[in-house]
Copies of this chain bind each other. A is one copy, B any other.
Amino acid sequence: MDKPAARARPAARVPTEPQSAPAASGKRPRGRPRKTLDERDDGNRRVELVNAAARLFHKKGFDATSTRDIAAAVGMHSGSPFYHFKSKGALLYAVVDEGMRSAIARQTAVLQAAAQAAPDPSALLRVLVHNHFDVLLGPGSDFIPVMLYESRALTARQRASLAKLRSDYEAVWVPVLEALTRTGRLKAPLKLARLLIFGALNWSVQWFDARKDASLDDLADAAMALFLQAPCSS
């Protein structure tokens, strides 16, 4: 069956009083009502598709998710996602891109707040680690897991753009890790340390269960205890 489930169609989409104000003039605003509202609507549908795609790609994987699944999840018919995205792969890239930009924005925000309060590098690392766990495991966090585990389907060009974003995200960690190496609290070679640390964090997507396991703070504490040498002087 191709009919979308009746469930997700938002009430706002039902054509209630469609052109209340425009109807008064009777001529000018025909084919398209006010431009701003129209664009906002289009944007919302697009955002809905990206959100549904993120959730389904995370839950079932990119290949196992059909564009029909995504359409049905937002109450569209099977061909309609291709009005907003030219291919399934473009939808995947939208998820990945949105996820990285959001992650970078959040990272920048928490780090700025922390750098003013306490410029201690171990405190900064703790903030980075906690934010990373939050981006991976917090509420509504489907985008970065998709980026981490479903990027194989991207084209070479898309992968190159993604590599730039990942590099931006990771670059912030480097001076913090360097400072910790200088003070002897981090022992492994910098590049390998970074890769191993990201692995430890990213793998949590595979096992973390918010209902059963520890809190994100517990996770961050454990990671800090594992990676850092205890403060030497005492």
Given the known inter-chain contacts A63-B63, A187-B230, A188-B226, please indicate yes or no for A201 contacting B204, CB distance below 8 A: no
Inter-subunit contact B187/A225 (CB<8 Å) = yes
Minimum C-beta distance from A128 to chain B (A): 15
A61 to B60, CA, bound (A): 13
Chain B residues near A225 (CB, 8 Å)? 187-188
User: At the interface, is chain A mostly helix, strand, loop or mixed?
Assistant: helix
A200 at the interface (CB under 8 A from B): yes
Interface string of A102-132 (1 = CB under 8 A from B): 0000000000000000000000000000000
Chain B residues near A197 (CB, 8 Å)? 200, 226
Inter-subunit contact B193/A199 (CB<8 Å) = no
Given the known inter-chain contacts A192-B218, A199-B200, A199-B201, please indicate yes or no for A227 contacting B229, CB distance below 8 A: no
Interface positions of A from 21 to 74, Cβ below 8 Å from B: 60-61, 63-64
Q: Which of B61, B207, B214, B230 contacts A152 (CB 8 A)?
A: B61
A175 at the interface (CB under 8 A from B): no
Minimum C-beta distance from A197 to chain B (A): 7
Nearest B residue (CB) for A151: B206
A174 at the interface (CB under 8 A from B): no
A75 to B104, CA, bound (A): 48
